Amino acid sequence: MKFIPEILLALLILVQCIVAPKLVKRAKIDTKIPAYIPLVHFLPLLKVIGRPWWWFILLLVPGVNLIMLSILNVEIGIVFNHRSTKQQWIFGALPWYALYILAFKDVQAEYVGPRDWKGKKKSFGREWGEAILFAVVAASIIRTFFLEAFTIPTPSMESSMKVGDYLFVSKVTYGAKIPQTPVSMPFVHNALPGGLTNSYVEWFSLPYMRLPGYGKVERYDPVVFNFPNGDTVVLDPFYVGHDYHALLRSEALYEATMKVGPASAFDEYTFNRNKYESMARQNFTEKKICKHCGRGNLKIEGTRDRPTDKKEMYIKRCIGLPGEEIKIDAGQVYINGNAIENKPGMMWNYAIPAASVNKVQKKLEKLKSELSPSPYEADMVLMPLTESEANDVRNMSPELAGISRHLDSTYKHQPLPIYPNVAEFPYVTWTSDFFGPLVIPSAGWTIELNKDNFIRYQRVINAYEGQTCEIRNGKCYINGQESNSYTFLYNYYFMMGDNRHHSADSRFWGFVPETHIVGKAVFTWFSKENMEYHGSNKIRWDRIFRLVD
């Protein structure tokens, strides 16, 4: 069942390639383009049905291509005088059968050319059908190459972008990516509604290409991108959008805990990391369970690889640019040794005395920020606030006058959460507030392949550059060849959420390659509160039709 769409599409392309030479010959079309070569065969068939060459481009646009393929099949029937409603439905719904019959059985079918509608009135159904098809095609082209809608799903960008904000993402700012999986359902990102079935076929893909844009990624830009760590997903309705590599580490730690107990589990896991991650991988792929998820032994459907353009989409603010050195010290970001500006809407966790919360509970609720128990001090709660909101809280009560930012100095909510996710010193001491220094790779930058750079950039070279980077007997190998250096192919960016302590960003999973950049968030066209986060579904009229900060 899993590969039926791919099989049917591949079979249809095969049938078209087989029948195309016969149909071109019968139509007496003069073309030097081979009609039997897959994809190229579309060009002579377009001549047969009397349509312009640029329809070939539409046959490659995701969503549009499936519609255009159906139109192509129907019009092949029309030009060979199969024009009844029943015949058109057969060519549209059963092209595998109809094209075969036309080419090999109905050899007397005369080529009469495209239908001429001059002086004829189309039926009501045809008028509306063509209008709907045109609207779908136009909307798909706009969505693919110009503007795409995006909804803020989590509070990681509060308070500049709130949960329930509906945005338009400009793809022309940085240049639209040519779809890498061009055969897919319209208006669906990576899975069909109501399940986890792929909305695209994987056997036909294109290399990374990008159209020219009128700008480039700048510091503080709100950037939408394909989640880099989304190359593999756990097939569960809840966990499918989570970081697979973080889930794998947590599952491995769980296995270590089951063996040696919680007191020694972390040391056992890090000492035998490959062993326990192999066990975790086996749980996900073969046993199809996630032991640490939920209440334990959660049944899943396995795992699945995803191509770049079908990874989940995230939105963060660009903080570091290619070639820059980034460091975070006590929550302050430094680029090349210089502190950068903290935007007014940025949020940090503030530690608030638990005993004082009840006295000002209603006032705090108006800020619509979540209170959470401090994992460090039992008498404190943490609340994400902007600096302006923090000043308001300080004025609520004398007991709150001294509240200050709470810094994560020992972050262990999951094993090895901070990039590069290793137990080596000094990386194991890095936290979300004390991070780096770390140089962001840029295209053309050459590094020495020593142990330290291997730790920092192995994931980049293997996962995003398409190379194999490994250490054997203390020596580095690139694609099986011993090498002392490596030159990066792409530019990379360091992204962070405005809600600094409630954002899964580059501090946790690393750099964003230029190949994953989708576009820039530019405009909020609608906004409403979210029941889960805000307790209501009220429309936020003050946020509608405004530019994104």
Confidence of residue 3 (pLDDT cuts 50, 70, 90): low
Instruction: Go through the domains of the chain in sequence order and give each one's CATH number.
Output: 4-143 (no CATH), 145-320+494-547 (2.10.109.10), 334-400 (no CATH)
Confidence of residue 269 (pLDDT cuts 50, 70, 90): very high
CA-closest candidate to residue 475, choices 489, 501, 499, 454: 454
Assess whether pLDDT exceeds 60 at residue 411. no
Rg of the chain over CA atoms, in angstroms?
A: 28
Q: Supply the mean pLDDT for the chain.
A: 88
Assess whether pLDDT exceeds 80 at residue 376. no
Amino acid at 10: A
Query: Which residue is it, tokens 């036909």?
Result: 204
The pTM of the full predicted model, rounded to 2 decimals, is: 0.86
109-160 pLDDT, tens digit per residue, is: 889 888 876 767 777 777 887 788 788 888 888 888 899 999 998 889 987 8
500-536 pLDDT, tens digit per residue, is: 988 999 999 999 999 999 999 999 999 998 777 777 7
Look at the alpha carbons of 187, 190, 192, 195 in this order and tell me if their dihedral is positive or negative: negative
162 by Cβ neighbours in 10 Å (0-12 / 13-18 / 19+) ranks as buried
Residues counted in the chain: 549
CA gap 456, 454 in Å, rounded: 6
Instruction: List, in sequence order, the alpha helices (H) in 80-160.
Output: 85-93, 95-100, 124-145
The predicted structure's pLDDT at residue 410: 66
Asked if 312 and 230 touch (Cβ cutoff 8 Å), the reply is: yes
311-347 pLDDT, tens digit per residue, is: 999 999 999 999 999 999 999 999 999 999 998 889 9
Higher pLDDT, 469 or 3: 469
Assess whether pLDDT exceeds 90 at residue 254. yes
Asked if 258 and 244 touch (Cβ cutoff 8 Å), the reply is: no
Angle at 170 between CA 167 and CA 173, to 5 degrees: 150
Assess whether pLDDT exceeds 60 at residue 413. no
